[in-house]
Chains A and B, each alone.
Chain A
């Protein structure tokens, strides 16, 4: 089997498997977020937190809840990391340095999971399990909850109510993420992923040297790392580690898990607004962008430039031989198209253009299909902008799924799309302007690519890295932490404000004069707007990085 055939089979089988569950799983999600009944566990949680599950929240209330919950998450995680040496299961590791703890606390609470550290030599099991893993669940649930609030904004009319954040958070965690993670972890364990509380096994190697084989609760963390599009690896090499991702089929499963929720969410959108075909259009936009990106990444890697890649036939540096080029490239594309950031190969070693693709995926706004929840709300904001720009061409005040896109709506959508480019560009410029560009391993355009990648990844809450850069410095940890924080919560506030504005409207009935937003033409338009308005903003910067290197 040639690498190309393998790649095509890999992608095709993923597409088929995702399509197969799209409807049933999407419907399950729909029932989770729109059901009225509370399970006993959930009621216990509500009593514990002290919320009335029947109470509805305005967009402001919802936003305050999200921010309060996240603030508590960041503080608790920070405390846990700073006090690690005083707690159990620390494996003898020291407390995490303040700037590092800040970075990691923000990183995991924002679903970014950027790791400046090597997990196996920094984090004890308690920090991993009760700190990082917990955030893996709830940060994903927060993203999904915000997306659901936006969907309610589209679905509801003449109301200020967007649901109850605490109910959404609890239900998504209890009814979706937990059960699926258990299944995922079991499947991974069958594939050979380790799951124990080992403090490490000393072995003597063939040459007589000593080696510590690390263990730990890997499978349980891997499952939610992917399912929640988190991406923070148990160990430094993330999904390239044989204990985390032992075989080709676990690799397939990992990609599948990270795409599962984002690709199923548009179904919830379609169901909630009562027009499933609107959801199909959104899936189509995601699929067009995703397939194009995967294809380009794979092609760039297979036809890799450079002396060594040409000699061996493909760019294999930084890739696991057991995954080969195409499965690595697909993983790389999938992990950056979502906000996962898990890696099974090293993006820094990719060809210039292949590496650029991973960056472009994030620069698109991580919408194809994007992080859990975040991808959908990002894409819906782009759809709103598309409707506004192109929708005027049918001679009506633009409307999307029965809601007019007026001053307020476009204001919030504009603010939303401003955030990420501003953070990425200002961050990267600040880094090179202040001399924080020193990378020991690379000079020239690739060094610039690494800086650009770091800020892109942090600002769009991805978490993957061009690892050739030394970021474990106070400057980098602080700057990237700020980017993660602002890159997560500013858009969330704008999305919720948009949801509030939409929910207040009365719906406009569909007529022949309504812009159809479920046809291929509209799908093409959203793709066009995403590429021209969002991705091309970064072209001047890319020209000095990967393009300079690759052309």
Chain B
């Protein structure tokens, strides 16, 4: 757990939402750690939490609630039965067993209450965010309509219906989930994401979705509501973290069936033991009555003790807590799953579709090299590129400045320090940016030379600019551009035009996709886990292949259209593999819906969020890998505790069987390998151990067992050793220790 938490902080990224000129929008930049969000805390379990959950736990003892859990229902009925017996025929032993049986049920209920309690705390914070706002509804509004063409009316937010149009102005709270249909605004979404930096929301495109309960900080937007009352994102989140309508997942149902079957087997074994015991007592008429066996057979208290110890109470008690905690771990990582089924599916994923940009590579290409044409030095290219990029706040521009600084010691200067220069920003039409220098322009106090204009940009745009200004681009530039393209890079041609001379090209900047640090290791890890990674990109196959090789992914889908993506998912699924992917655009929606695990980015469109079965509030596509790990951890925790629970039975047999029957057949005392003090202490020790182990394992159930990505055989070997062998050994030690303690207590022999 600690290992995973550390990873979270290092791989979590803040999302910069500045539009960038060279293609990708919404790019994630790695390296900046996520400020500890509200939800990220609470890995450990403090005793106060246990105490706080007690009232909830007591409420769960209601048999009407408990009947869904056959194992615990049997324990409760058993406890009620021994209570009656203890009242009718009181003894310290009978009461001690009775109390511990009730504690067993209580501890089980406590496990679930604790797990739910954590969600309730989160729900409370969310509720606080969902203020009752009054919305400004626009009636008769159409895009571009003048102010007088529609009516404004104040409507309480809960009354808004799908399709309503509302106006939200700076300082206002967005009354419901919807899409921006007009305007652009910066929005504070911290109530939902825990991320304090505001995000841009604008009409059209992939950043139009807004969430109810978030606050508009600047400007005004018109929003079309896309939710029905009570079904908002926040409503769903609250329901989700509270576990209000938690459905059992398929795997949980299957495990429940097995546990029910085991309970029935042991119930039969214990119930049918009674006639055999009566028969045996009859034939051994000389044997004295003991607290465990009399002429009437095994005493009820002992019989119930045997039953409770044999049925799989440990896993029965912790099963639902494990499931709730699994969802909770996702929420702590700012991921909302619409169903537990999706979390389980994440553990089964066989193929990961990862978008190249933002997931495998840094969001933007970065300058890697300055390549001069003949007659120009690399330093001259760097200097020109440097000047032209000083005002360029795009990541590419910044990377050019940084590279020039690294290679040629050109210092980073604020644009204001370059007086009398005019910066030419990038536009989609010109496809280049640059700077116009006048003779008055100074660099570090010296003149920057004669008046000249510098441009950098797409090869075609810059070469035609050179041609327009009387120059000849030269063939060499073409070769350099082709080489860079062939290597999967992006060429940016740098040219200058000094007044009175023909324009000339200086060289080419090689922009490269930079694979995020540590991705190769992650993919190796995934491969060891048996998961195939497929990189999805709009790049041409050649470029895509270069990045794929560098990053170490297994396969690549180049020039991918949404249809290709969908087809790929179908193909993988046909082959029996579960597919996970992330997406944010509306055109991702079909693929997100088709994927077994579809993680929509919170920055994405409503369509994408509707289609996927998880939403990542941080909009960090790399998190897909963590989601898979959480899914696996959930299943492993279940398996480990089931194995532990079943393995515990061996020691319990050795504690209880001799205690029951050694009075009848002294030879059976041979089975008392733990040399427990007396039959009473032996039985009580087994019952006490059985109860205490539940409480002892609550933290493990909530935290999940330690998970390190590894192959199935290594995981199995390790977990089998810890939970299988541990499950055999621990109760021997535990029961012996409890027996030693009980032996010291007065009243119990």
A contact residues vs B (CB 8 Å cutoff): 385, 388-397, 402, 405-407, 409-411, 414-415, 417-418, 421-422, 425-426, 428-430, 432-433, 437, 443-445, 447-448, 506-509, 511-516, 519, 521, 525, 528, 532-533, 536-541, 543-545, 547-548, 550-551
Contacts and interface: CB of A to CB of B under 8 A. Distances in A.
B715 interface: yes
B25 to A, nearest CB: 35
B254 A405 contact: yes
B314 to A, nearest CB: 13
B66 interface: no
A392 B639 contact: yes
Contacts of A525: 720, 724
Contacts of B646: 389, 532-533
Contacts of B664: 544, 548
A507 B273 CA distance: 44
Interface in B572-589: 574-577
Contacts of B707: 395
B712 A548 contact: no
B636 A540 contact: no
Interface in B413-468: none
A396 B649 contact: no
Given A417-B261, A511-B530, A544-B661, A395 B276 contact: no
Given A389-B639, A389-B643, A417-B265, A548 B530 contact: no
A541 B639 contact: no
Nearest to A540: B273
A435 B318 CA distance: 43
A395 B723 CA distance: 14
Given A392-B251, A537-B266, 16 more contacts: A393-B716, A393-B720, A396-B632, A406-B254, A414-B260, A426-B268, A444-B284, A448-B276, A508-B576, A511-B530, A515-B713, A525-B724, A540-B270, A540-B306, A540-B653, A548-B280
B633 interface: yes
Interface stretch (B142-150, B342-350, B381-389, B404-412): B342-350
B41 interface: no
Contact of A392 (B261, B635, B671, B724): B635
B630 to A, nearest CB: 10
Interface string B37-50: 00000000000000
Contacts of B347: 395-397
Contacts of B640: 392-393
A304 B660 CA distance: 27
Contacts of A405: 254
Given A390-B643, A418-B265, A547-B671, A513 B276 contact: no
B34 interface: no
B247 interface: no
A519 to B, nearest CB: 7
A543 B251 CA distance: 36
Nearest to B713: A516
Interface in B252-295: 253-255, 257-258, 260-262, 264-266, 268-280, 283-284
A405 B255 CA distance: 10
A533 B12 CA distance: 45
B665 A548 contact: yes
| Top 8 A-B pairs, shortest CB-CB distance | A513-B530, A392-B639, A395-B632, A511-B530, A414-B261, A551-B667, A512-B530, A429-B272
B631 interface: yes
| Best-buried of A394, A433, A516 by chain B (most CB within 10 Å) | A394
B577 to A, nearest CB: 6
A541 B269 contact: yes
Nearest to A444: B283
Nearest to B276: A544
Interface in B639-658: 639-640, 642-643, 646-647, 649-650, 653, 657
A513 B254 contact: no
Interface in B701-723: 707, 711-713, 715-717, 719-720, 723
Interface of B: 250-251, 253-255, 257-258, 260-262, 264-266, 268-280, 283-284, 306, 344, 347-348, 350, 527-532, 574-577, 631-633, 635-636, 638-640, 642-643, 646-647, 649-650, 653, 657, 660-661, 664-665, 667-668, 670-671, 707, 711-713, 715-717, 719-720, 723-724
Nearest to B273: A540
Given A537-B266, A544-B661, A394 B279 contact: no
Contacts of B660: 540, 543
Contacts, number: 221
B533 to A, nearest CB: 12
Given A390-B643, A421-B269, A525-B720, A407 B257 contact: yes
B262 A432 contact: no
Contacts of A392: 251, 255, 635-636, 638-640, 642
A221 B275 CA distance: 40
B61 to A, nearest CB: 27
Contacts of A547: 665, 667-668, 671
Nearest to A531: B650
A406 B251 contact: yes
Contacts of B657: 539-540, 543
Contacts of B258: 385, 388-389, 410, 414
Given A389-B643, A509-B576, A421 B268 contact: yes
A322 to B, nearest CB: 34
Contacts of B635: 392, 395-397
Contact of B280 (A425, A430, A445, A507): A445
Nearest to A551: B667
Contacts of A448: 276, 279-280
Q: Which of B254, B575, B724 has the most CB of A within 10 A?
A: B254
B572 to A, nearest CB: 10
B576 A428 contact: no
B253 A407 contact: yes
Nearest to A528: B724
Residue among B261, B347, B643 with the highest chain A CB neighbour number at 10 A: B261
A456 to B, nearest CB: 13
Contact of A548 (B643, B650, B668, B719): B668
Nearest to A427: B272
Contact of A395 (B264, B272, B715): B715
B275 A433 contact: yes
B675 to A, nearest CB: 15
22 contacts: A388-B254, A392-B255, A394-B639, A394-B719, A397-B635, A414-B257, A422-B265, A425-B272, A429-B271, A512-B530, A514-B712, A519-B713, A521-B713, A521-B720, A532-B647, A533-B646, A537-B265, A537-B269, A540-B306, A544-B277, A548-B280, A551-B667
Nearest to A434: B275
Nearest to A407: B254
A444 B664 CA distance: 11
A102 B61 CA distance: 50
B256 to A, nearest CB: 9
Nearest to A547: B668
B272 A390 contact: no
B565 to A, nearest CB: 21
A402 to B, nearest CB: 8
B319 to A, nearest CB: 12
A550 B668 CA distance: 9
Contact of B529 (A388, A407, A513): A513
Given A394-B715, A406-B250, A433-B275, A551 B257 contact: no
A525 B646 CA distance: 12
A355 to B, nearest CB: 15
Given A421-B265, A539-B657, A543-B657, A429 B639 contact: no
A432 B670 contact: no
Contact of B272 (A428, A506, A513, A548): A428
Nearest to A397: B348
A385 B640 CA distance: 14
Contact of A516 (B639, B670, B712): B712
A548 B293 CA distance: 15
